């Protein structure tokens, strides 16, 4: 496996474009990703009960298992918009289908931005026409830009995997929670591969990869109405990956982990990437649950912003995580320095640790010493800018 | 039922004191509440797995069902302090027991403050001697002061209840999450009554009252290692309340609700009290779960700090609450203004609502229209000061 430059257009047989159609006040706001041939599609969607029309629509596309394109707009989530919202969303899919001469049921739609406003669908239709003219095998980075809301940087990754049957590539773009305009909490990730793979296998591989990447990511615990991760596999490498599904899954997971880390590092107001590992747990699920509780604790996150080696808050978060453990056996290390062991504080140099917590990446390592499973979760710290960004008046 | 001035010493046969013994850098830091006679005791404790020695010790007191006194220090939580911490905690109880000539098993202990530091137990023993000399039927307010960490005001309430058998009084003091020094996340509430009541009935009445008061309170979702609510009932009114348990429970609940509201209003960095009601739910538990998810959403809380009528965030939090509901039937009102109904936004005056959100108390009313149960939850907004207070370097 080797990292390469590029994104969703790194795999063979994909073209993409990102254009400005005027939904956002500035910048590109419409992304289009097209496979030259029908692709197998898999996806995972928000569990939010108030899921947006694009989520409900795209779920049906994934159920059928075949897609030609993904179209996404930023600046407006088209959520909580009533029946009109469903009609607007279908119009997005129809416009792409008409130009590609495929059924609308083969077009994945996605929207991200403010909740509760009608989508300016005429602008989006015009944008789709424009994007279709600009489709290019180099268009992945423009698409990555066009799905940003207030991320401070586009997020793209690509890799190639050498299998006995030949080379397979995987590419992806994502957007996160660098939210300056309020409500733009959506996590979107679009993945492509030229592997030959059947829909059920693709769905399973995606699910496993997401389980240890995006499902291990939390910025502020606010799951959005529009989250989705979608992968298109168009088989253009000519390599059947079914005999090597483990290798393929590991490669996909590595790519998703990198994108998840990019999202965490670019969280709203973030000054650092925080990696929390829980080891020695009876199950992966329990390890992740505890790591996530620590990652979502406002008290832990504000302490990290202050570079404060305040492990008491970490222990308190572990204690309320719902995971059964023995506090007297657990160990906690911050930046590789053991701060809590055998039920009490260790003697560590607090001033030195305070300095080392100013790094761009901070690790919290927890060892429960009661099992062999582990999980890693990524988040960011909690700064004044988080409050500033989210307290600004939206209407 | 009538509200009266006073606190834990309003019921007959209770004396209290609050003194400074030097655990905190300034102010009173040791509270003592004593019943003249043996009292029936009930209590509820943190569910945090890393519960402090005082919690584990006081659980045993409650199991036995009889107590003479409550002793509490602020400034140090005596949590994550190893076996030494247990010994220090027992010494607190022993000192009180020795001076009152009662078994140590009849003394409830409580500590609140920073986690992971040894308790200065000699100072506390000296403080107990001093407090014992100052015990007085007017000492409730001093005790309320002595349990404060960085609450901006003491929290006390008292009431009298006229029953056919005579007058019963209930009093209480509480401390909350006005945290300037880090780690001081403990919620403590001490209640007294002169009612005649048996331990099992008292425990049940307390549980019911807490269920709709303190369990409906959330500042930042960080359940502490030291939380407790304890009630002493010494029977000195001569009134047996068993025939009127519903009345007694309602009175106790009213008092607990007032104390919970005081804690929310004084949350860290709070600029307003936020009351969230979910109506039309199938069960109380589901209603409370949804209200709490909204109350704990950082995006909702920062919007309220910005006086932003950003109902999309409320709907998104409802959607991820784990409660099954139909977003197309739900209604959301902010400050009595309907903002979302029948699956889409209403036409409301956003500027006017923005102005009215600047009030000291903000109400969010959610109607799911799919049941008859309701729950009310109290919290505060999320301001720059929350970050400032909690990002300061502790060590």
DSSP letter assigned to residue B368? -
Is B202 found in the same domain as B87?
yes
Query: A144-153, A231-240, B170-179, B336-345: which has the minimum mean pLDDT?
Result: B170-179
Is B315 found in the same domain as B179?
no
Range of the domain at B127: 2-260
In a domain, A372, yes or no: yes
B124-157 tens-digit pLDDT = 999 999 999 999 999 999 999 999 887 788 989 9
Is B158 found in the same domain as B49?
yes
CB pairs under 8 A between A and B: 236
Q: Which helix (H) or strand (E) holds B82?
A: helix B82-100
Sort out which chain A residues have CB atoms less than 8 A from B82's CB and list them.
328, 342-344
Q: Does B84 touch chain A (CB under 8 A)?
A: yes
* Backbone angles phi and psi of B44, in degrees to 5: -130, 145
Q: Residue A299 maps to which CATH number?
A: 3.10.20.340
B276-293 tens-digit pLDDT = 999 999 999 999 999 988
Q: Does A354 touch chain B (CB under 8 A)?
A: yes
Cβ of B115 and A316 within 8 Å?
Answer: yes
Task: Tell me if A196 sits within 8 A of A272, measured CB to CB.
Answer: no
Say if residue B258's pLDDT is above 90: no
Spatial distance between the Cα atoms of B271 and B316, rounded to a whole number of angstroms = 23
Task: Tell me if A192 sits within 8 A of A236, measured CB to CB.
Answer: no
- What is the mean predicted confidence (pLDDT) over B319-329? 89
pLDDT value, residue A229: 78
Spatial distance between the Cα atoms of B79 and B55, rounded to a whole number of angstroms = 10
pLDDT value, residue B260: 82
Token pair for residue B311?
A: 């109902």
Cβ of A313 and B340 within 8 Å?
Answer: no
Domain end, chosen from A262, A283, A315, is at A262
Cβ of B222 and A299 within 8 Å?
Answer: yes
Q: Is A66 exposed, middle or buried (0-12, 13-18, 19+ CB in 10 A)?
A: middle
Is A32 found in the same domain as A93?
yes
Q: Residue A206 maps to which CATH number?
A: 3.60.70.12
A283-297 tens-digit pLDDT = 999 999 999 889 988
Nearest in space to A273 (alpha carbons), one of A153, A379, A127, A147: A379
Q: CB within 8 A of B376, min separation 6: which ones? A: B212, B216, B275, B276, B277, B291
Q: B186 vs A294, which has greater pLDDT?
A: A294
In a domain, A267, yes or no: no
- Total domains, chain A: 2
Is A335 found in the same domain as A229?
no
Query: A17-26, A206-215, B65-74: which has the minimum mean pLDDT?
Result: A206-215
Is A168 found in the same domain as A114?
yes
Spatial distance between the Cα atoms of A57 and A86, rounded to a whole number of angstroms = 8
pLDDT value, residue B214: 81
A6-50 tens-digit pLDDT = 999 999 999 999 999 999 999 999 999 999 999 999 988 877 777
Cβ of A391 and B49 within 8 Å?
Answer: no
Q: Using the Cα atoms of residue B367, residue B370, residue B371 and residue B377 in order, give the sign of their dihedral.
A: negative
Is B80 found in the same domain as B40?
yes
Say if residue B329's pLDDT is above 70: yes
Sort out which chain A residues have CB atoms less than 8 A from B56's CB and list them.
none
pLDDT value, residue A184: 38
The SS3 call for residue B293 is helix
Nearest in space to A221 (alpha carbons), one of B285, B264, B321, B312: B321
Rg, Å, chain A Cα set:
21
In a domain, A37, yes or no: yes
Q: What whole-number percentage of chain B has pLDDT above 70?
A: 95
Q: How confident is the model at residue A339 (pLDDT cuts 50, 70, 90)?
A: very high
Helix %, strand %, coil % of chain B (to 5): 35, 30, 35
In a domain, A13, yes or no: yes
Token pair for residue A126?
A: 């015009």
Sort out which chain B residues have CB atoms less than 8 A from A80's CB and list them.
312, 315, 327, 340, 343-345
pLDDT value, residue A299: 83
Q: Beta strand B273-281 with B2-4: parallel, antiparallel or unpaired? A: unpaired
CA B248 to chain CA centroid, nearest Å: 19
Q: A393 vs A175, which has greater pLDDT?
A: A175
In a domain, A168, yes or no: yes
Q: Does A342 touch chain B (CB under 8 A)?
A: yes
Residue A254 region by backbone torsions, left for phi larger than 0, else alpha for psi between -120 and 50, else beta: alpha
B48-59 tens-digit pLDDT = 777 889 989 999
In a domain, A227, yes or no: yes
Q: Beta strand B228-233 with B188-193: parallel, antiparallel or unpaired? A: parallel
pLDDT value, residue B221: 58
Average pLDDT, chain B: 88
What number of other Cβ atoms are within 10 A of residue B164's Cβ?
A: 8
Q: How confident is the model at residue B182 (pLDDT cuts 50, 70, 90)?
A: very low
Is A384 found in the same domain as A310?
yes
Q: How confident is the model at residue B223 (pLDDT cuts 50, 70, 90)?
A: low
Task: Tell me if A304 sits within 8 A of A273, measured CB to CB.
Answer: no
A353-374 tens-digit pLDDT = 999 999 999 999 999 999 999 9
Helices (H), chain A: 53-64, 82-100, 121-134, 140-146, 199-211, 245-265, 284-296, 298-305, 311-319, 350-356, 384-391
Say if residue A391's pLDDT is above 80: no
Is A330 found in the same domain as A215?
no
B336-357 tens-digit pLDDT = 999 999 888 899 999 999 999 9
Q: Using the Cα atoms of residue B236, residue B240, residue B245 and residue B247 in order, give the sign of their dihedral.
A: negative
- What is the mean predicted confidence (pLDDT) over B164-178? 84
Domain end, chosen from B260, B288, B314, is at B260
Is A82 found in the same domain as A151?
yes
User: Which positions 25-64 of B are in contact with A (Cβ < 8 Å)?
Assistant: 47-51
In a domain, B358, yes or no: yes
In a domain, A335, yes or no: yes
Cβ of A182 and B114 within 8 Å?
Answer: no
Active site residue A271: no
Cβ of A224 and B185 within 8 Å?
Answer: no
Task: Tell me if A114 sits within 8 A of A13, measured CB to CB.
Answer: no
- Interface probe for B, chosen from A45, A48, A80 (most Cβ of B below 10 Å), is A80
Token pair for residue A204?
A: 């399973």
Domain end, chosen from A240, A262, A284, is at A262
Q: Which of B50, B328, B343 is nearest residue A327 as measured by Cβ atoms?
A: B50
Is A387 found in the same domain as A337?
yes
Say if residue B393's pLDDT is above 90: no
pLDDT value, residue A189: 79
pLDDT value, residue B183: 36
User: Terminus-to-terminus CA distance in chain A, angstroms?
Assistant: 48
Is A242 found in the same domain as A383?
no
Query: A202-206, A385-389, B166-170, B262-266: which has the minimum mean pLDDT?
Result: A385-389
Cβ of A340 and B390 within 8 Å?
Answer: no
- What is the mean predicted confidence (pLDDT) over A336-355? 92
Q: B196 vs B220, which has greater pLDDT?
A: B196
| ipTM for this model | 0.72
């Amino acid at each position: 496996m080797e990292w390469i430059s590029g994104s969703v257009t790194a795999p063979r047989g994909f073209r993409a474009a990102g254009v400005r159609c005027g939904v956002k006040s500035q910048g590109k706001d419409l992304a289009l990703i097209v496979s030259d041939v029908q692709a197998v599609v898999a996806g995972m969607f928000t569990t939010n009960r108030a899921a947006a029309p694009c989520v409900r629509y795209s779920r049906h596309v994934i159920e059928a298992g075949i897609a030609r394109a993904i179209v996404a707009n930023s600046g407006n989530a088209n959520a909580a918009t009533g029946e009109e919202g469903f009609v607007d969303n279908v119009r997005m899919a129809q416009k792409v289908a008409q130009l590609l001469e495929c059924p609308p049921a083969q077009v994945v739609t996605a929207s991200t931005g403010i909740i509760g406003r009608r989508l300016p669908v005429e602008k989006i239709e015009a944008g789709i026409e424009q994007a279709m003219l600009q489709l290019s095998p180099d268009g992945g980075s423009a698409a990555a830009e066009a799905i940003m809301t207030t991320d401070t940087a586009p997020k793209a990754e690509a890799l190639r995997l050498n299998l006995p049957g030949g080379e397979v590539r995987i590419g992806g773009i994502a957007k996160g929670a660098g939210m300056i305009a309020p409500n733009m909490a959506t996590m979107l990730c679009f993945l492509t591969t030229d592997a030959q793979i059947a829909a059920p296998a693709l769905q399973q591989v995606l699910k496993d990869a997401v389980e240890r990447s995006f499902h291990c990511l939390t910025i502020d615990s606010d799951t959005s109405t529009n989250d989705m991760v979608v992968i298109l596999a168009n088989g253009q490498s000519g390599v059947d990956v079914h005999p090597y599904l483990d290798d393929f899954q590991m490669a996909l997971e590595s790519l998703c982990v990198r994108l998840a880390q990019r999202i965490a590092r670019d969280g709203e107001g973030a000054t650092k990437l925080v990696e929390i590992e829980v080891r020695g747990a009876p199950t992966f699920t329990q390890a992740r649950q505890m790591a996530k509780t620590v990652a979502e604790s406002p008290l832990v996150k504000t302490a990290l912003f202050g570079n404060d080696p305040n492990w008491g808050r970490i222990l308190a978060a572990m204690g309320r995580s719902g995971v059964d453990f023995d506090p007297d056996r657990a160990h906690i290390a911050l930046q590789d320095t053991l701060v809590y062991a055998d039920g009490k504080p260790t003697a560590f140099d607090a001033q030195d640790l305070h300095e080392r917590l100013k790094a761009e990446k901070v690790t919290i390592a927890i060892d429960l010493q009661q099992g062999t499973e582990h999980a890693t979760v990524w988040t960011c710290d909690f700064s004044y800018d988080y409050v500033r960004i989210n307290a600004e008046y939206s209407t």
